[in-house]
Amino acid sequence: MSLDVTFLGTGAAFPCPSRGASALVLRRAGQCWLFDCGEGTQTQLMKSHLRAAKITKIFITHLHGDHMFGLPGLLCTLSLQRSPDASVVPIDIYGPLGLRSFLWRSLELSHSQLLLPYSVHELVPTQDQCPPGEFRDFSGLDQGEGLAQAPPGTVLQLDAETDSYLLLEDEELSVRAFRLFHRVPSFGFVMEEKPRPGKLKVHVLQELG
C-alpha cells in the first residue's frame, strides 16, 4: 500500500506568510485524506502538487479555530469545482461533537448552497479530555426542527473495549480515533495497515527442489 504525506500547514494559533495553519494531506490509492483544515488551507492546496478535488475524507482533531476555520471555505470551493450529480459519493468528515453544527450554521448563515454532498461523523468526547471547567456538552446543539436541514452523519461513541473509535475499515487498513488531552477535547487518528500475506510461487520452489 502506497502512502504519501504532504504538510500544508504546521503553524499554530494563526497563519503567517511562510507557514500556514494546521493541515496535512495523506494520499492513498488516488484519494486525498485531509487532516485538519486551518485558515488558508485551500490556498496552500493551490500552491501544492495536490488536487483538492481528490479529497474524499476530512479528519478534524479538535474544535480550535486554527484547526477548522478553513473547512467551510474549502467545501464551498470544492462545490464550485463539481457539477450536481446524485451519484457523487459524499465527502466524509470526522471530528468532535459540535462539528456538524458548526459547518451547518456557517454555511447556512453565509447562504452557501453546496453542490457537494457531505456527511459529518461526530466523536462523543469524555470529560477527562480537557481541564476541569473547560468541558462543554454539545450533544443538544440544533435539536428539533432545524436538525432536518443539517447534513447527514453519525454519532460515534467510545468503544470501552478498545478505548478508541472505529472510523472506517477496509481490506487494507483500519482507521481509529483515540482521545487526547488538550484545552478542549481532542483526538488523534491512527491508520493501521492489516497484515498482507506473501505470494508464494509454488512452481518455482518445486523447480528448485
With vertex at residue 127, the alpha carbon angle to CA 13 and CA 165, rounded to the nearest 5 degrees, is: 85
Left (φ > 0), alpha (ψ -120 to 50) or beta: where does 87 sit?
alpha
Q: Which is catalytic among the residues 66, 128, 159, 163?
A: 66
**Measured between alpha carbons, how far is 22 from 4 in angstroms, rounded to an integer?**
17
- 66 part of the active site: yes
Q: How far apart are the first and last CA of the chain?
A: 32
Q: Helices H, strands E: what count in the chain?
A: 4, 10
Strand ranges inside 44-164, DSSP E: 55-59, 91-96, 118-123, 153-156
Cell of 208: 528448485
Active site residues: 66
